[in-house]
Structure 1
Amino acid sequence: MEEQYQDQSLKIFSLNGNEPLAEKIAAVFGTTLGQCAIKQFSDGEISISIEESVRGAHVYLIQATNQPVNDYYMELLIMIDAMKRASAKTINVVLPYYGYARQDRTARPHEPITAKLVANMLQEAGATRILTLDLHTVQVQGFFDIPVDNLFTMPLFAKYYREKKMFGDDFVVVSPKNSGVNRTRSLAEYLNTTLAIVDQEESDENGGYVIGDVQGKTCIMVDDILNTGNTFKVAARLLKEAGAKEVYACASHALLSPPAKENLESADITDICVTDSCLTDESRHPNNLTYITCGELMGEAVKRIHENTPMSPLFRLEEKDFA
């Protein structure tokens, strides 16, 4: 068992979004989660009570905002307000998955920018800092007027594939859609591979083509959000048609909305690696899914924020880290 963290001004609380991940983050400090009670009235209203003193404390609220996203955001906003009224010194929000981040611009007239709306609500409620993981677009940080730390999952996936000896000339890292090239390039640099892009239209499952050489190579597809699995399914088919030897995939946030299980199990994908940033029922997990934890990474980030030490070592792994 880890030694108890001595700084009693730090308190970590979990809401209902992902308590197992919150426990892993707390374990980095050798501490336990703070005591609170969350319940819903019969009409759906959420009630929260903090069951210990937080006066003058630096509190960290951990909440993944996957399905049911609206309930989980409302829980978080109410908890922030409760902490503010209980005289917490700082209220640090830890969002392993930032729901609504995909709506970060007006692609067509009269559309809302809900990523900005969420940022406004969190700040207005009383959040003093945000820690999140692999935002859909890094520009979302600019919607906040408080400090935001956006951690990256590519080092976690790089370590996973390096340990499986999946790097070098026989492999190629693939963006399954043309909007995810930066993420793909990052993993390709870690694995010393070339990269390729699958250009596919969401409205046309039979169309699309591969940009880059995948003939006879093992492909590793990279995405940030794994929702219905259709993007991976179509891209895997196109890669195999282009001569790929084998197809793997990884994604930062496994939402696994139906029919993800059916799509991914029917796809020609050997292994799909995801982080535990989102908590989903096991009945929705395809049998080719592998979880790796982001708990240690996020726990170390919380520790560095609390101790005012540099965050930069968490953003990139060096060659020695793969030994």
Structure 2
Amino acid sequence: MPQHQEPKLISGNANMPLAQAIARRMSMHRGMQVGLVDARVERFNDGEIFVEVFENVRGEDMFILQSTSNPANDNLMELLIMADALRRSSAARVTAVLPYFGYARQDRRTKARTPITAKLVANMLVGTGIERVLTMDLHAAQIQGFFDIPVDNLYASPIFALDIKTEFRDRMGELMVVSPDVGGVARARELAKRINSPLAIVDKRREKPGEVAEMTVIGDVTGKTCLIVDDMCDTAGTLCKAAEVLLENGAKEVHSYITHGVMSGPAVERVTNSVMKSLVITDTIAPTDEVKAAHNIRVVPTAPVFAQAILNIWNGTSVSSLFEAETLSPIYDGMYAAE
């Protein structure tokens, strides 16, 4: 495919601060201004979404920046309508950059007569003419197989590893990575390998969705500084309960590293009042004012890695190179000191 002059970015309303940060970062890398395409994404009085692109995009390599976070349905429809507008405007290629991929929790049939909504959303995205998807920390890696187009799934663990090596540099030997459930063991093991620490698991059993009946710690956490690792934090009930159970089992203190801070309902209040020393999330979902004001919640940026991934896709070079700390450290501009 012939390379076009510059990659062009367009953003919906889901996470405008992240979109603008990605554009600024790309401008730094390119040594020239990379801005967001001038467009309006508005609603009619009855809530229908209307998109109008004010710039010529014919033959261009377009990247739509849009997390399908709360309100998930509105943000998903914005994404689909923007993709349709670009295809009808003769864009050469449309890539959907979804820092947070919503509906990912419904990735299989857990009981009779339930949908697989992640597959439905994948079909909708492909049906609009989107040719590639770039996302971060899918809830389940197999969701990539729901698409008949390339899906690049970035990982937050290299960013978290850099942060941990900076924040805990004087006590790396006492760290223990903890998976809050059996299903997240692979994700936790990946981070544990990067920081050379042992792994423990909190096994939880639910009576019904949203209610945890029992938690058991698998592994000796006595005297350890525990780092709970997961892909998303919704209402934070399970996370705060896991922190309590770890302390009851002899942990010295508990911190959490979560990629997507959904933070619904009482989540911020629960985290603020919990025994956790800190919760670190990324900005894949725009943090609310309440999240920003919380004394024990910290947000790490993803714009550097997304900007570089977009440039790599545009250049036709490797995206998987961004999984390594050696590649990631320089693009975080000294935010985290190299080893």
TM-score bin, normalised by smaller chain: over 0.9
CA contact (8 A) 1:249 1:271 kept: yes
Q: Which of 296, 304, 315 is residue 312 of structure 2 equivalent to?
A: 304
Partner of 1:306, secondary structure, is: helix
* Percentage identity across paired residues of the two chains: 42
CA contact (8 A) 2:291 2:297 kept: no
Out of 172-181 and 197-206, give the one that drifted further: 197-206
1:109 equivalent in alignment to 2:112: yes
Q: Which of 176, 179, 190 is residue 186 of structure 1 equivalent to?
A: 190
Out of 18-27 and 89-98, give the one that drifted further: 18-27
CA contact (8 A) 1:9 1:56 kept: no
CA contact (8 A) 1:260 1:284 kept: no
Structure 2: gaps (5+ residues): 28-33, 330-337
Task: Tell me which residue corresponds to 2:335.
Answer: none
Task: Tell me which residue corresponds to 1:201.
Answer: 205
CA contact (8 A) 1:77 1:122 kept: yes
Seen in structure 2, the aligned counterparts of structure 1 residues 230 and 202 have a Cα distance that, compared at 3 Å, is farther
1:282 equivalent in alignment to 2:286: no
After superposition, where does 1:152-301 map in structure 2 within 5 Å? 152-166=155-169, 168-203=172-207, 205=212, 207-285=214-292, 286-301=294-309
Counterpart residue identity of residue 307, structure 1: N
Q: Which of 10, 13, 16 is residue 16 of structure 1 equivalent to?
A: 13
User: How far apart are 1:320 and its partner, in Å?
Assistant: 9.9
Distance in 2 (alpha carbons) for counterparts of 1:290 and 1:16: 23
Out of 205-214 and 304-313, give the one that drifted further: 205-214
Partner of 1:200, secondary structure, is: strand
Distance in 2 (alpha carbons) for counterparts of 1:78 and 1:132: 19
Distance in 2 (alpha carbons) for counterparts of 1:169 and 1:276: 29
Task: Tell me which residue corresponds to 1:97.
Answer: 100
Q: Which of 145, 152, 164 is residue 142 of structure 1 equivalent to?
A: 145
CA contact (8 A) 1:28 1:299 kept: yes
User: How far apart are 1:262 and its partner, in Å?
Assistant: 1.6
User: How far apart are 1:283 and its partner, in Å?
Assistant: 2.2
Distance in 1 (alpha carbons) for counterparts of 2:135 and 2:8: 18
Q: CA offsets per residue over residues 62-81 of structure 1, 9 Å max, x none?
A: 00111000000000100000
Seen in structure 2, the aligned counterparts of structure 1 residues 284 and 293 have a Cα distance that, compared at 3 Å, is closer
CA contact (8 A) 1:258 1:284 kept: no
Distance in 1 (alpha carbons) for counterparts of 2:291 and 2:322: 31
After superposition, where does 1:113-128 map in structure 2 within 5 Å? 113-128=116-131
Seen in structure 2, the aligned counterparts of structure 1 residues 319 and 303 have a Cα distance that, compared at 3 Å, is closer
Q: CA offsets per residue over residues 226-260 of structure 1, 9 Å max, x none?
A: 11011111100000000000100010000100110
Out of 220-229 and 260-269, give the one that drifted further: 260-269
Partner of 1:201, secondary structure, is: strand
Task: Tell me which residue corresponds to 1:3.
Answer: none
Question: TM-score scaled to structure 1, two decimals?
Answer: 0.95
Structure 1: gaps (5+ residues): 1-5
Distance in 2 (alpha carbons) for counterparts of 1:319 and 1:96: 20
CA contact (8 A) 2:165 2:172 kept: no
CA contact (8 A) 2:7 2:311 kept: no
CA contact (8 A) 1:169 1:194 kept: no
